[in-house]
Amino acid sequence: VSDRDQMLPAARIGASVPGEDLPLPLLVLKRTALDHNIALMQSYCDEHGVQLAPHGKTTMSPGILRAQIAGGAWGITVATAQQAILCRSFGARRVIVANQVVGAPNLALLAQELNASVDFDLYFWVDSVEGVAELADAHARHQLTRPWQVLLEVGWPGGRTGAQTQEAIDRVTAAITASEDAVRLVGVSTFEGLLDVPRLKASTAGQPRPERDEVTPFLHHVTRVAAHLRAAGLLPADYILSGGGSSAFDKVTTVFGAVEAPVRVLLRSGCYVTHDHGMYAMLTPLAGLRPALELWSYITSIPEPGRAFLGFGKRDAPYDHGLPVPLSRLRPRSTERLSLAEAVITDLHDHHAAMNFTGDLRVGDRVVLGISHPCAAFDRWRLIPIVDDDGTVVDVLDTYF
């Protein structure tokens, strides 16, 4: 925490959040829940014989990433070359960029780090001939002494990235072979989370979830792609099969986990680490995860009966997959958390949240809220206090977005 950060109120270790020692709005992270989630997910992976490279983009916070590695994670997943270098500087030895990396400056960053440290174990994804060609080119330009290690991403029509057809897969693997070991295929990957979107949308809209499971058949397809590549001698025996966000990793574990050793299954879940009170509360396959993020705010105005405005908004809370969820309230100068009869956030402005409520809420009361979708919470806060069970700040996390 820098000198400038020390000036920010959130950095005051020992301050009491319920005791009104700190200005609001404030996003806090509950230490017990965080520690619990890290341990629970790691033991899930250990019990099922799969490895975990938590997605670092969720938090981009060295304190959390180090705790995940210390807790047994195989490595850290990221989305960009810059995040890879940052996570490296936080102490990650093994980094997987879950994207095709293109562009000379991006590849230069990664090549320089690979050349500088022999123990840096880097992986990323490819889905096109052009992507492989850029890698081969960068390999020669930076005189890399090791091959780029890549996973072939498999996608589906209308999805996001990834090779969708056998023809596309053949073209990419032919380009890898032609690279003469500048690029080495070490695994197959996908992100099934996007196939879960209908389930997700139904859940956030409070509608019944569709019965049809789109994820499992697609995961079987991915295993067949990998088996063919292995049979053709294009993958090593201990290749990596990687999938898994935080909503359907049970299906990844079941389908990929059925492929015989020495194949290594790698999950990349990110949001499990803080869980939430919205989207992931509805979708998680792992009972027992605890929501670790809380947003504290004052009621700043009650302009008409039953409608309050809170002193936070889009600048402070995620709103892409559900709005914040009011949990409890506190009276001025009281640390007692009281239940809320009925309260729902209906709209967010930059610095206002509209809340419909019943009961006797007053201006100056505080409302504690859960959030939905952790990824879009962390990037809004440079510093996030970690609080113990009674709301005292015990540590401060910094984030790097």
Q: Which is nearer to ligand PLP, 241 or 355 (CB)?
A: 241
Q: How far is the CB of 100 from ligand PLP (least distance, A)?
A: 11
Q: Which is nearer to ligand PLP, 279 or 387 (CB)?
A: 279
**Ramachandran angles phi, psi of 353, nearest 5°:** -125, 125
Q: How far is the CB of 374 from ligand PLP (least distance, A)?
A: 8
Strand order in the sheet with 183-189: 51-52, 264-267, 240-243, 183-189, 148-153, 121-126, 94-100, 76-78
**Residue number with the smallest Cβ distance to ligand PLP:** 245
Bridge-based pairing of strands 94-100 and 121-126 is: parallel
* Contact assessment for residue 286 and residue 301, using Cβ atoms and an 8 Å cutoff: no
Q: What is the DSSP code string of 179-191?
A: TTTSEEEEEEE--
Q: Which is nearer to ligand PLP, 92 or 353 (CB)?
A: 92
Q: How far is the CB of 187 from ligand PLP (least distance, A)?
A: 14
Rounded CA-CA distance 230/237 in Å is 7
Q: Who's near 211: CB < 8 A, 6+ residues apart?
A: none
Q: Which is nearer to ligand PLP, 223 or 274 (CB)?
A: 274
Q: How far is the CB of 400 from ligand PLP (least distance, A)?
A: 17
Residue 153 DSSP symbol: E
Q: Which is nearer to ligand PLP, 136 or 289 (CB)?
A: 289
Q: How far is the CB of 323 from ligand PLP (least distance, A)?
A: 18
Q: How far is the CB of 166 from ligand PLP (least distance, A)?
A: 22
* Contact assessment for residue 228 and residue 236, using Cβ atoms and an 8 Å cutoff: no
Six-digit token pair at 232? Answer: 């053709």
- Residues in contact with ligand PLP by CB under 6 A are 55, 98, 191, 193, 245-247, 268-271, 375
Q: Which is nearer to ligand PLP, 16 or 216 (CB)?
A: 216
Q: Which is nearer to ligand PLP, 254 or 301 (CB)?
A: 254
- Residue 34: count of CB within 10 angstroms of its CB: 22
Q: How far is the CB of 270 from ligand PLP (least distance, A)?
A: 4
Six-digit token pair at 258? Answer: 């059925």
Distance of CA 221 to the CA centre of its chain: 25
